[in-house]
Structure formats: C-alpha cells, structure tokens
C-alpha cells in the first residue's frame, strides 16, 4: 500500500485524497522550471496535491495560484501549503481553467496535464479525470493559457514524448512559440518517455533543446538527474 505522504527536504506532500499521487513527472516539471526574478505571478493548472506549486514557491518569490476541479485535491493542497514555509504566497482554488478569469495575467504557467489520450478509461472516476485529456483537451489548455499569460509569459508543460510535437504545433497555431524543450529518457539506449515543453507568448529565437537521462546503464540515478532534483529529494 503506497504511503499517504511524500517527504521532501523542506516540505511534505500528503496525497491520499488526490486522484494522482506524487510522481516523477510532477517532480521533473517543478525542478526543471526556473522562474526568473521578473516572475511575479505563477499559475499551476491541475495542481492536485499542490506539489509543483510548493516546489516553485521554494525557489522563487512569486505569488502562486494552484487550480483544480477536484474539491478534495484543493483541500489537501491547501493543507500541504499551510504546513510549508512559503504559505503566505500560495493559494489554491477549485476552478476549471477554461472558466478562470484573471485581469492581472500570469508571468508563468505550469501544468502536468491529463494526457493518456488513447489509454483505457480507469474505473475510478476521479482518477480518470486526472489522467485523461478528454477532461481538458490540449486545444482548451493552450487556449486558456494563452489568454491568461502576460506578453512574453512562459507556459511549461510535461507530456509523453509522442504527444510533444502535436502540442508544440497547436501552441504555435495559437501564438505560443517553442522556447525550450527537454527530452527525457529513463535509461540509455531506450526511446524517450517524456518531454518538457516551454512555450512563450511572444517571439522566440532558435529554441534551446536538451536531453535528460534519469538512470544510467547500471540503474543508478545519473548525476544530471541528481543535480536537477537535489534541492528536493531527501536521498540526494
């Protein structure tokens, strides 16, 4: 039986009331995202347990809002934030992003979205909503993010590698240009499993691309992965 919580160096995430538990994807997106000092407001779409929002609060001074359509997830995310050092800068709201209105706009939006488009639906309704893009199609996610971003704002998302090119194309069609891309491999000599896509609401020069290998040929975590996540994981 999985633990009801996950301990990091500076905070603990309880996730027993959330459809999707703490996982590598969320940690990767939170660790890889590096807000500049100019970032004052951040939106975390589909925040779940609040993991990514709290990770970003650890590394920057921005005000962070996390939204989710799951009432229980928002309650637990709020409880997680209330126990952390940066509680005054984090707020969680039960809201569908397609219905979110915000006059100020956001400098940075992050999302670990539902993306198992072609997989079988899970019998657990809440887990299905959290996992399947039928509840938040890419087009709706991109459209909402475009409207909520300030000019030159950044949108970071983690996706299956096979969905990345389609997402980039849909973003470009709406006016979000590829800014950075990180291709993630689980082990050497294997196909990529994930891609972290960074889109900008504005013009972009030739996008920065990089690869990240999680484990080496011996099954040990690579130095690159340790360096990326060392501020969070207890074992590094």
Residue 46 included in any domain: yes
Q: Is 72 inside any structural domain?
A: yes
User: pLDDT value at position 113?
Assistant: 85
Residue 96 CB contacts under 8 Å (≥ 6 apart), including other chains: 67, 69
Q: Is 123 domain-assigned?
A: yes
Q: Please indicate, yes or no, if residue 117 is contained in any of the structural domains.
A: yes
Q: What is the pLDDT of residue 88?
A: 97
CATH code, domain carrying 142? 3.40.50.150
Rounded to whole angstroms, the Cα distance separating 136 from 119 reads 15
Question: What is the H or E stretch that residue 14 is in?
Answer: strand 12-14
Residue 234 placed within a domain? no
Two tokens at 32? 């890889």
Q: Are 104 and 39 in contact (CB under 8 A)?
A: no
For residues 81 and 50, the answer to whether their CB atoms sit within 8 Å is yes
Q: What domain range includes position 158?
A: 5-229
Are the C-beta atoms of residues 228 and 200 closer than 8 Å to each other? no
Determine the pLDDT at residue 118. 37
The model scores a pTM over 0.85: yes
The closest of 48, 46, 45, 41 to 90, measured between CA atoms, is: 41
Q: How do strand 194-200 and strand 177-185 relate by DSSP bridges?
A: antiparallel
pLDDT tens track, the chain, 236 positions = 568 899 999 999 999 999 888 999 999 999 999 999 999 999 999 999 999 999 999 999 999 999 999 999 999 999 999 999 999 999 999 999 999 999 999 999 999 986 543 333 444 444 444 444 445 799 999 999 999 999 999 999 999 999 999 999 999 999 999 999 999 999 999 999 999 999 999 998 899 999 999 999 999 999 999 999 999 999 99
Looking at residue 79, its pLDDT comes to 98
Task: Give domain status of residue 236, yes or no.
Answer: no
Q: What is the pLDDT of residue 169?
A: 97
pLDDT at 19: 85
Q: Are 42 and 106 in contact (CB under 8 A)?
A: yes
| 61 three-class SS | coil
> What is the predicted pLDDT for the residue at 32?
98
Asked if residue 93 is part of any domain, the answer here is yes
**How many domains, the chain?**
1
pLDDT of residue 116: 42
């Amino acid at each position: 039986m999985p633990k009801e919580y996950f301990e990091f160096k500076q905070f603990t995430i309880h996730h027993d009331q959330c459809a999707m538990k703490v996982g590598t994807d969320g940690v990767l997106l939170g660790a890889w995202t590096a807000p500049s000092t100019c970032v004052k407001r951040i939106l975390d779409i589909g925040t779940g347990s609040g993991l990514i929002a709290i990770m970003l609060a650890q590394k920057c001074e921005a005000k962070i809002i996390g939204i989710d359509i799951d009432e229980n997830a928002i309650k637990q995310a709020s409880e997680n934030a209330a126990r952390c050092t940066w509680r005054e800068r984090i707020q969680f709201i039960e809201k569908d992003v397609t219905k979110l209105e915000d006059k100020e706009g956001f400098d940075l939006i992050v999302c670990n979205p539902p993306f198992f488009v072609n997989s079988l639906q899970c019998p657990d309704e809440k887990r299905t909503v959290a996992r399947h893009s039928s509840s938040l199609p890419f087009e709706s996610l991109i459209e909402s993010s475009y409207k909520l971003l300030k000019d030159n704002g950044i949108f970071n998302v983690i996706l299956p590698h096979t969905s990345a090119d389609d997402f980039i194309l849909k973003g470009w069609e709406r006016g979000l240009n590829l800014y950075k891309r990180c291709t993630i491999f689980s082990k050497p000599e294997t196909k990529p499993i994930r891609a972290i896509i960074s889109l900008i609401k504005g013009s972009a020069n030739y996008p920065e691309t990089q690869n990240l290998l999680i484990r080496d040929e011996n099954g040990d975590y690579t130095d690159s992965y340790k360096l990326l996540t060392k501020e969070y994981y207890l074992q590094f």
